[in-house]
Chain A
């Protein structure tokens, strides 16, 4: 589980326009700087917000990333709901404990 590295990447991306520019120019060069699992790399490559949520990315980090990727608010919330239906509950991070372990599922 490299959730720490995954969140670090998103944290640095969220706050630094230079990292954002590098990510936009070719995201693999940014991804290569972090020790990520194949699953995490795939989710980042495909802007899979729902999967990133399931992998345990803190929602406060993910919300800003989703906004930067241009997701409308309702689509962002729906992406998390769809991912819960598809993959089951959140697998790591603090949100795995939200709502009695259902990872925020309603």
Chain B
């Protein structure tokens, strides 16, 4: 059936590692929004959640870097980082190998996707799960788009990949949720960590909410690097979720700069088609 839930949100490690240092006036409403997002996810009664992430050299390196990879393991381990630093305990997270396999079989019809039966989750997946499935009990299908080590897949391909993911989910009987997670503008892990181009973020999200494929995929990497930092390359994950919900539009729930999180705290949802189906049933 069609996706039952589609959203995007930030994943900065500071959201758990340094939460107490954020301005409560912004942090508290942001975290309250994520609580609301979790409620919406739970209401959608998902069998599994796809997390489209931009991992940070936890599993993939420049010796053999896949542009796209989907996990197909029985379970996953995370966080790969020092758990005391991230403040998320290391644990095993259930996978959905059969469902992964069927989704990969469909996606590979359109996109040359890599697969992995072993995957250590870094903060890019662990932080969103910490807020969306705090018991880490919902089976996860991790998806990675290389956003760190150029050459990078072009944005129009990320959108196409999203379309393939959306169609693959529509072809299976399970109820599948999807969340895209990456920064918008940010300069993470540099001396400029905390720098945020708020206007750029809002303009990007406006394109995302309208699901305007042409404008969403028109950013050049040079322009993104200049205006949104090297962290801006992670918009590929957000663009792919728009592709998975092609033809539908979104709703912004939150976007405010939170420098100690190194990005804007943001959350937005997109219609998937399941809403009207639920109404009809």
A-side residues, CB < 8 A to B, are 4, 7-8, 11, 14-15, 58-64, 67-68, 73, 77, 80-81, 84, 94-95, 97-100, 103-106
**B253 sits at the interface (CB 8 A):** no
What 8 A-B pairs come out closest when comparing CB atoms?
Answer: A59-B189, A104-B190, A60-B56, A67-B85, A63-B189, A80-B191, A81-B191, A104-B191
Question: Closest Cβ of chain A: how far from B61's Cβ, in Å?
Answer: 5
A98–B187 alpha-carbon span in the complex (Å): 8
A3 CB to closest chain B CB (Å) equals 10
Query: Could you say which of B28-36, B125-133, B198-206, B225-233 contacts chain A?
Result: B225-233
- B105 → A minimal CB distance (Å): 28
For residue B139, give the distance in angstroms from its CB to the closest CB of chain A.
Answer: 23
Q: Is the CB of A84 within 8 A of B191?
A: yes
**A58-B187 Cα distance, complex, nearest whole Å:** 12
Residue B17 CB within 8 A of the other chain: yes
B280 to chain A, nearest CB (A): 45
- A67-B82, A73-B17, A73-B18 known; A14-B58 Cβ under 8 A: yes
**A62 — which chain B residues lie within 8 A by C-beta?**
189
Beta-carbon contact of A8 and B63 below 8 Å: yes
Known: A77-B191, A99-B187, A106-B192. 8 other contacts (CB 8 A): A7-B57, A8-B61, A58-B189, A59-B190, A94-B150, A98-B187, A98-B229, A104-B192
* Contact assessment for B59 and A15 in the assembled complex, using a CB-CB cutoff below 8 Å: yes
In the complex, whether B120 has a CB less than 8 A from a CB of chain A is: yes
Chain B 186-217, CB-CB to A under 8 Å as 1, else 0, gives: 01111111000000000000000000000000
**Contact indicator A15/B120 (Cβ below 8 Å):** yes
Within 8 A of A (CB), among B124-180: 148-150
- Which residue on chain B has the smallest CB distance to residue A98? B230
- Do most interface residues of chain A lie in helix, strand or loop, or is the interface mixed? helix
A61 surroundings in chain B (CB, below 8 A) = 56-57
Which of B120, B188, B192, B226 has the most chain A CB atoms closer than 10 A to its own CB?
B192
Contacts of A7 in B (CB 8 A): 57, 61-62
Tell whether, in the assembled complex, residue B225 and residue A98 are in contact, meaning their CB atoms are under 8 Å apart: yes
Contact A60 B82 (CB under 8 A): no
Chain A contacts for B122, CB-based, 8 A? 64
Q: Please indicate the chain B residues that have their CB under 8 angstroms from the CB of A105 in the complex.
A: 191-192
Set B62, B189, B190, B191: member contacting A4, Cβ < 8 A: B62
26 A–B pairs (Cβ distance < 8 Å), ordered by A:
A7-B57, A8-B63, A14-B81, A58-B57, A58-B149, A60-B56, A60-B57, A60-B189, A61-B57, A62-B189, A64-B80, A64-B122, A67-B86, A73-B18, A80-B190, A95-B190, A95-B230, A97-B225, A98-B187, A98-B192, A99-B187, A99-B192, A99-B229, A104-B191, A106-B191, A106-B192
Question: Which chain B residue lies CB-closest to A69?
Answer: B82
CA distance A98 to B232 in the complex (A): 11
